[in-house]
Amino acid sequence: MLISYKFRLYPSKTVEAKLTEQLEICRLLYNRLLEEVNRARKEGRNMTRKDTQALIVKLKQKKPELNKVYSKVLQMVNYQL
């Protein structure tokens, strides 16, 4: 039997702004990775999860705002893709 709990959070304005910013960064990363996967499919290539993970490393060098989000969270974005 699986038990789960739900908790209601009431973050401060500062915390809410930071959470919103991190969600936006994750959304942008997801869309960018999806764009690359779709482009690879059109070109007849197959991108694996390992390929997209390597792409995150390259994107972090070009887009320093990705460093505001924990690396495990970025990996989960890749995993969900």
Kindly report the number of other CB atoms within 10 A of residue 77's CB atom.
19
Q: What is the DSSP letter of 1?
A: -
- pLDDT digits 0-9 by tens, 33-76: 999 999 999 999 998 899 999 999 999 999 989 999 998 999 99
pLDDT at 21: 95
The tokens of 21 are what?
A: 């910013």
* Mean pLDDT computed over 10-16: 94
2 pLDDT more than 90: no
User: Residue-wise over 5-43: b if at least 16 C-beta within 10 A, else e?
Assistant: eeeeeeeeeeeeeeeeeeeebbeebeebbeebbeeeeee
pLDDT at 29: 95
Q: Are 73 and 22 in contact (CB under 8 A)?
A: yes
